[in-house]
Amino acid sequence: MQNDKIKCGLAEQNDSRFVDTIEKEAYVWYEKDWKHDDYEHVHHRAQLTYVEEGYQYFHIDQKIYLVPQHHVIWIPSGKPHRITSEAQTVNLMVFLFKSVLKEDFYQHVQVFAIPPVLKEMLLYASKWNKVLAEDEEQEIFFKAILKSLPNFCRENNHLEIPVPADERLIPVCTYINANFKYHLNIDALADKAQMSVRSLQRIFKHETGITLQKYLQLTRILKSIELLDTRQYTLSQTAFMTGYKSLSAFTSSYFAVMKSKPKLKK
């Protein structure tokens, strides 16, 4: 196939599907300054991606998952996804598994902060980067990583922005994304959706699983991560640029979402 491209050891065809000709049960593909094509694709290996530097957005099943630095995402086999990022530098370590365990954890997308033990395991595993030959130690070690994942994912960070299927809500989300610095004007949002305030609140919660206020909070925190990644602004500047009246209010909101305090990147 002359038009095939190789990504993560898999041959990508023109229909954005990956052909797996690798016999190995699991392997790792680690690259600095990662470059992604901005379109949806699918492959038939489960994927564990560790974001060592920068951040990534994964567009999966009508949701946009944020995976910031020092977080991992688990994507089940055969799950279509698209990846975007505006980060200056993205360093990714991608683990691909041909088969996984049957527990419920492995059947769903998971995003969580990487605990120190898992981080050390993944960094150790990088010595097998792009090695496609069989290796007994590697096989045992990767099985240990796979088996331990549910224990490491004790608290999912809920770093996803839901995308409503109801087209009436798209202008509402677009407006919030463009005006996240300001307080919600619920009447203006209801006008954009061409429904009553009460109907908007009820349908938005039903479609996305979160309230309009929570959607605004998530949008602000994601924007703050993008700003901090540029290394151009102080924490106070970032707070005001994302609509918070004080650094303490921003820190509190950031911690509620990220389970950690915001820090300036070195």
In this prediction, residue 233 carries a pLDDT of: 94
95, pLDDT greater than 60: yes
pLDDT band at 14, cuts 50/70/90?
A: low
In this prediction, residue 9 carries a pLDDT of: 59
234, pLDDT greater than 70: yes
CA distances from 153 to 3, 40, 188 (A): 39, 26, 39
3, pLDDT greater than 50: no
For residues 110-118, average pLDDT: 89
1, pLDDT greater than 80: no
For 131-155, the pLDDT digits (tens) are 888 899 999 999 999 999 999 887 5
In this prediction, residue 175 carries a pLDDT of: 92
Mean pLDDT over each residue of the chain, to the nearest integer: 87
For 31-60, the pLDDT digits (tens) are 887 766 667 888 889 999 999 988 888 899
In this prediction, residue 230 carries a pLDDT of: 85
In this prediction, residue 136 carries a pLDDT of: 94
For residues 194-210, average pLDDT: 94
For residues 174-188, average pLDDT: 92
Q: Point out which residues pair with 5 in neighbouring strands.
A: 12
Conformational region of residue 231, where left means phi above 0, alpha means psi within -120 to 50, and beta covers everything else: left
For 152-180, the pLDDT digits (tens) are 887 555 678 888 889 999 999 999 988 99
Structure tokens belonging to residue 115: 């605990």
In this prediction, residue 67 carries a pLDDT of: 87
Domains belonging to the chain, first-starting first, are: 5-152 (2.60.120.280), 164-258 (1.10.10.60)
